[in-house]
Chains A and B, each alone.
Chain A
């Protein structure tokens, strides 16, 4: 895929997004018209979205009219390797799981699990130090939990620990 194609897709997405939000925000003008001389709650989101759509159109036209051969040249996908791709996907899934588990499972257990698994994902057999990984994964959340709950008196989600 060339840079030109990527840019056209990107600007199209922005244009559709801008138009969508502008139409939605304009609905506020109709449903709750501004009082007196106030610009209204619709004004800023509408104009921001409209300008985003307008600028995207400008950039799209600029991209379509560009005759730069380097810009239209097909470039290989920026890819750091299959193993990195898997690590990236696993990281996103793990972060999602951590966020989902933070409240119901509790800060301490979810953080220990997150750190341990994230260290495993972001290491290979060659550079994996089990002692360091285990010590940090257990020790850091514990220290932070004690500090925040017993020293600073903050409330952190206890989750299944009650």
Chain B
């Protein structure tokens, strides 16, 4: 059964070709801001109806892996996160590209995406039942504690002016409350506008803040920007990571993989939280935290390893419990069910061949992702040599398209423009955008799980202290808030 499942993928040229096509298309979708792996899977799902179960799911897995890792391309080259999973990549990849290390940033991103993906698949293969049992122990209390821990990223990313950063984070959380309340469904802060009842689309907000505000700022600063020389991007050997750098980032890589898998197995949280939490953890435990945000390899490693590690993690509850861990996993689950494969506790017994074929397809997809992206690296790097006054308008057009294709409503495009202007004003006022975007991404989940946990426990906060898992996350949240403050005090004392 095991060998049969693996060989059905590895020895089938048709299956391998489908995975390759899936990875390639997935990378294209992931790299265009506004498009995503979910869209790619939606698009190709009907095509799989006429295929065998293994071929169909292999194509979709290729799209999934390609789409998740494709986000690093726009995050590094254009400083626009393709999805919420690539937000932290922008903080390090962008500055690296600015100083001519764009090729190295992409190469390192590809390598660590591959490593994170493969390690999570190994965890999936070896530990799926154990991880599933662990995931089931999480109630709304534990989820709320995880979200509280995730929000400490705001403090970590606030830079020198912590209070301004916290204001930005709170503003982001406030923006996430616009629209329907996640528990009662009441409209909030819509001011009577029907189009506001579903709130602001995450992609539109991110594109507005990062891309549109960039274009407008470029235009207002045109004379100075055009005087800047186009920085030549250095050629990359291999993946741009030396053995010394690999050893230095090894611990960060392992921790980020564990965090990515851990967050991936929790349904409803996903890659958007994983990359931010890993980035924050890497900064707090790094020997050189002051280098984060300036183009530090360790930050990039943390983000890219963890967001690809969620791919294997999100498969665990989907396959073993029949609970999809993310939207992509839900689409994959529907594909399995269409082909008469029912995810759940009996999947290994009833459809073992398909399960092992899925494991093999995931590994092959990661391998293809590594080769395709590495081969295309010189092409990606060429983008950096295009003059900004030509590149930026093209990016705006693609971003507008990406925003529109999410829900096919013009309101998303208007949102993109409005947040572009807000983003520009925030830049002028030196209010950091990162904490605002993070607050927006994490706000809804934070509110949902906090309210659920308090309602389910009759208004009591005691369960937060009775649950060992919740206590650990709350303690980590306090630690992550205290560590930057202690470091800052030590620095002030050293200066005196």
Please give the residue numbers on chain A whose beta carbons come within 8 Å of chain B beta carbons, in ascending order.
6, 10, 14, 21, 24-25, 28, 32, 35-39, 41, 43-45, 48-49, 51-52, 55-56, 58-59, 80-81, 83-85, 87-88, 90-92, 95-96, 98-99, 102-103, 107, 111, 114-115, 118-119, 121-124, 127, 132, 136, 140-141, 144, 148, 152-157
Alpha-carbon distance between A140 and B386 when the two chains are bound, in angstroms: 15
Beyond A39-B454, A41-B188, is A85–B170 a contact (Cβ under 8 Å)? no
Residues of B within 8 A of A51 (CB): 166, 170
A45 contact from B189, B414, B454, Cβ within 8 A: B189
Instruction: Indicate with 1 or 0, residue by residue over B254-271, a CB within 8 angstroms of chain A CB atoms.
Output: 000000000000000000
B405 → chain A closest CB, angstroms: 6
CB-CB under 8 A from A121, the residues of chain B are 219
B contact residues around A36 at 8 Å (CB): 455
Known: A84-B221, A140-B394. 17 other contacts (CB 8 A): A41-B183, A41-B184, A52-B174, A55-B163, A80-B220, A88-B220, A95-B417, A99-B413, A103-B413, A107-B404, A114-B396, A122-B218, A124-B226, A132-B390, A144-B401, A152-B43, A156-B401
CB of B167 within 8 A of CB of A56, answer: yes
| B437 interface contact, C-beta 8 A | no
How far is B486's CA from A105's CA once the two chains are assembled, in angstroms?
A: 57
Q: Is B285 positioned at the interface, with any CB of A under 8 Å from its CB?
A: no
A59: min CB distance to chain B, Å: 6
User: Which of chain B's residues has its CB closest to A56's CB?
Assistant: B167
A-contacting residues, B192-232, CB 8 Å:
212, 215-216, 218-224, 226
Q: Is the CB of A37 within 8 A of B401?
A: no
Shortest CB-to-CB span from B245 to chain A, Å, is 37
Contacts of A123 in B (CB 8 A): 389
Interfacial chain B residues near A140, Cβ < 8 Å: 394, 397
Least CB distance from B203 to A in Å reads: 15
Chain B CB count within 10 A is highest, among A24, A45, A111, A123, for A45
Interface of A is mostly: helix
Smallest CB–CB gap between B6 and chain A, Å? 32
Q: Is the CB of B167 within 8 A of A111?
A: no
Give Cα distance in the complex from A49 to B173, angstroms.
10
On whether the beta carbons of A88 and B222 are closer than 8 Å, the reply is yes
Contact A119 B389 (CB under 8 A): yes
Is the Cβ of B454 less than 8 Å from the Cβ of A114? no
Interface residues of B (CB under 8 A from A): 43, 163-164, 166-167, 170-171, 173-174, 177, 181, 183-184, 186, 188-189, 212, 215-216, 218-224, 226, 387, 389-390, 392-394, 396-398, 400-401, 404-405, 408, 410, 413-414, 416-417, 420-421, 429, 443, 447, 450-451, 454-455, 457-459
Contact A52 B170, beta carbon cutoff 8 Å: yes
Is B223 in contact with A10, judged by CB distance below 8 angstroms?
A: no
Taking CB atoms, residues of chain B closer than 8 Å to A118 are 393, 396
Question: Measured between alpha carbons, how far is A156 from B397 in the docked complex, in Å?
Answer: 13
Is A25 within 8 A of B188, CB to CB? Answer: yes
Q: Is the CB of A52 within 8 A of B223?
A: no
**Given A28-B188, A44-B177, A80-B223, are A38 and B413 neighbors across the interface (CB < 8 Å)?**
no
* A49 and B174 within 8 A (CB): yes
Q: What residues on B are CB-neighbors of A132 within 8 Å?
A: 390
A84 to B405 Cα, complex, angstroms? 33
Please tell me if the beta carbons of A21 and B404 are within 8 angstroms of each other in the complex. no
Q: Are A80 and B224 in contact (CB under 8 A)?
A: yes
Chain B proximity of A108: nearest CB distance (Å): 11
